[in-house]
Amino acid sequence: MSAETIADVQAGIPDVVRLTPRFDVSSLVRDVESLRAEQASEWKRQKTFISDDNLVETELDWHTLPLRSTGGDKSRTDPGGPGLEPFADTAYAEHAPYLRTVMSTIPSPLRSVRLMALGPDTYGPDHFDNKYALTWGIARLHVPVITLPEAKLFFGETPYVWEAGALWFGNFARTHRIENSGRTHRVHLLLDVHVTDEFFDLFPADARAELNFDNIMINRHEQPVRPDPVHQIAFEVPKSFTDWEEEDGQFLLDQPTVAAEIKAQDDELVLHYDGVPYAGLVHIGDNEFRFQGWTDERTVQVVDEAGQRRVVLRTRIGTQVRTKVISASPLGD
């Protein structure tokens, strides 16, 4: 998705909000220093996605220790995304009791949680975090732990030095960059949050009142469902629907398709593309499913009317919904 598209749907969403919780700095530092000493070799350079399955390691002195990741995998320094496994705490979280307390104060489900250390004399490029924004149901929060005046975060050309121990919301879908011109590391705790109604309890009342909720996507809570034969179907999806970088609404256009199936596996439902398991499905009501590890930004709904199967594909930006209905057949037909 282009920077222009992302910028167009950020109206009424501020760059920065200081949220209401405060945390004890000495307790934060104690946990972080313990992890830096005992797990020194485990801090790895951050990896980010450049495509669905292609992770690239940064060249910056920007090292990460994951406290929560896809599948609880200690090697995953990336923020995660759609896949077969849910987010889970890593073994490192067991050694950080106060950081776990911080995590437990967030009133919405956590996605990835990472400690990120920005080295001295390190300057990052201008960039934006594609779809990591309230518009697509994700919030990225920071708790500065170890900071210094020379460690700055820029939104556009506005610099910020966030206070240690505070909880900060940043709209990282906007163009931003980081720099540390100092002589020591800056360490932040980053929490990616699944946006629900409860999430906004963290906002001061005046900041919450000014939010443009038309441009915010609020995820529905999971409603567990047992796999049923009605869910297990074969269908064709537009190829762009499988691409998380697609422009909004592209899947509605005429284009090649990809063979898809929904199958039961270990008492769960799994979406397959071209015969390969792609993502678990999380039920959010009325036989509509989001992708495991993702948000309501993209869903598939199974419809059965008098034995006639259909699939409804949806994408969302804020409160806007794009819909495509396609025919399906029961598996085995």
Residue 224 lies in a domain: no
Q: Assess whether 185 and 109 both reside in one domain.
A: yes
Contact predicate 127/177, CB 8 Å: yes
User: What is the reported pLDDT for 29?
Assistant: 98
What SS3 class is residue 183? coil
| Mean pLDDT computed over every residue of the chain | 92
Average pLDDT over residues 307-326: 96
Residue 241 pLDDT grade (very low, low, confident, very high; cuts 50, 70, 90)? very high
Q: What are phi and psi of 34, to 5 degrees?
A: -65, -45
Q: What are the C-alpha distances in Å from 231 to residues 270, 281, 297, 330?
A: 10, 11, 21, 8
Residue 221 lies in a domain: no
Full residue range of the structural domain in which residue 76 is found: 3-215
Contact predicate 160/16, CB 8 Å: yes
Q: Assess whether 161 and 277 both reside in one domain.
A: no
Contact predicate 280/222, CB 8 Å: no
> Model confidence over 68-123: pLDDT tens digits?
999 999 999 999 999 999 999 999 999 999 999 999 999 999 999 999 999 999 99
Q: Assess whether 198 and 311 both reside in one domain.
A: no
Q: Is 0.85 surpassed by the pTM of this model?
A: yes
User: What is the reported pLDDT for 56?
Assistant: 60
Q: Assess whether 170 and 267 both reside in one domain.
A: no
Contact predicate 14/45, CB 8 Å: no
Residue 54 lies in a domain: yes
User: What is the reported pLDDT for 220?
Assistant: 98
Distance (Å, rounded) from C-alpha 111 to C-alpha 93? Answer: 14
Distance (Å, rounded) from C-alpha 165 to C-alpha 98? Answer: 12
CA dihedral 296, 81, 328, 220 (to 10 degrees): -20
Distance (Å, rounded) from C-alpha 297 to C-alpha 217? Answer: 8
Average pLDDT over residues 327-331: 95
Residue 258 lies in a domain: yes
> Model confidence over 11-52: pLDDT tens digits?
889 999 999 999 999 999 999 999 999 888 889 877 664 444
Q: Assess whether 97 and 36 both reside in one domain.
A: yes
In 3D space, the residue among 59, 120, 113, 125 whose CA is nearest the CA of residue 88 turns out to be: 113
User: What is the reported pLDDT for 54?
Assistant: 56
Q: What are the C-alpha distances in Å from 158 to residues 134, 178, 284, 287, 292?
A: 21, 11, 39, 45, 36
> Model confidence over 182-197: pLDDT tens digits?
999 999 999 999 999 9
Average pLDDT over residues 293-313: 95
User: What is the reported pLDDT for 52?
Assistant: 47
Q: Which amino acid is residue 138, in one-letter code? A: I
DSSP state of 220: P
Q: Assess whether 30 and 147 both reside in one domain.
A: yes
Measured from the Cβ of residue 14, the count of other Cβ atoms closer than 10 Å reads 17
Q: What are phi and psi of 29, to 5 degrees?
A: -65, -40
Q: Which of 182, 215, 248 is the last residue of a domain?
A: 215
Q: Which of 188, 215, 242 is the last residue of a domain?
A: 215
Measured from the Cβ of residue 274, the count of other Cβ atoms closer than 10 Å reads 10
> Model confidence over 31-42: pLDDT tens digits?
999 999 988 888
42, HSE (Cβ side, Cα atoms, 13 Å): 19
Sign of the alpha-carbon dihedral angle for 88, 93, 97, 100: negative
User: What is the reported pLDDT for 55?
Assistant: 56
User: What is the reported pLDDT for 45?
Assistant: 78
**Distance from CA of residue 111 to its chain's centroid?**
6
State how many domains the chain has. Answer: 2
> How many residues comprise the chain?
333
